[in-house]
Structure 1
Amino acid sequence: MNVGKAIRRARLIARTEIIKSYNTAIATKYKSSGVKKFRWLAAIDQRTCP
């Protein structure tokens, strides 16, 4: 693996873990606040999975 690929991979992993931590913190905050349901809103564009 060359250095460029390794750096891109490291950034991808870091970004994934940061987003995972953020989402876990939000879910914990919702639960502690008594939120039972929420609505997920997504932008429907070419990057959205069907």
Structure 2
Amino acid sequence: MIGIGDAAPPFLELDVPIEFVELFRRSAIIASISAAWRRLSSVRKR
């Protein structure tokens, strides 16, 4: 974990388990990928 304190939101300064942070980051990545995939599929249908 290089530089997690540099650009981290203030809630990461609390005693949050690293598994929760990894799960949150993974769910955010999955949500952005699914949104981009939905946008691509809607463009392809036209």
**Under a length normalisation based on structure 1, what TM-score does the superposition of the two structures give?**
0.57
Equivalent-residue separation in structure 2 for 1:2 and 1:10 (angstroms): 13
Structure 2: stretches of 5+ with no match in the other structure:
1-15
If asked which structure has higher relative contact order (CA below 8 Å, sep 6+), I would say 2
Cα RMSD (Å): 0.7
The aligned runs of 1:1-50 (5 Å cut-off) are: 1-31=16-46
Identity %: 6
* Count of residue pairs the alignment pairs up: 31
Runs of 4+ displaced beyond 2 Å: none
Which segments of 5 or more consecutive residues in structure 1 lack a partner in the other structure? 32-50
> In structure 2, what is the Cα distance between the partners aligned to 1:14 and 1:24?
15
TM-score by length of 2: 0.62
* One-letter identity of the residue aligned with 1:27: S
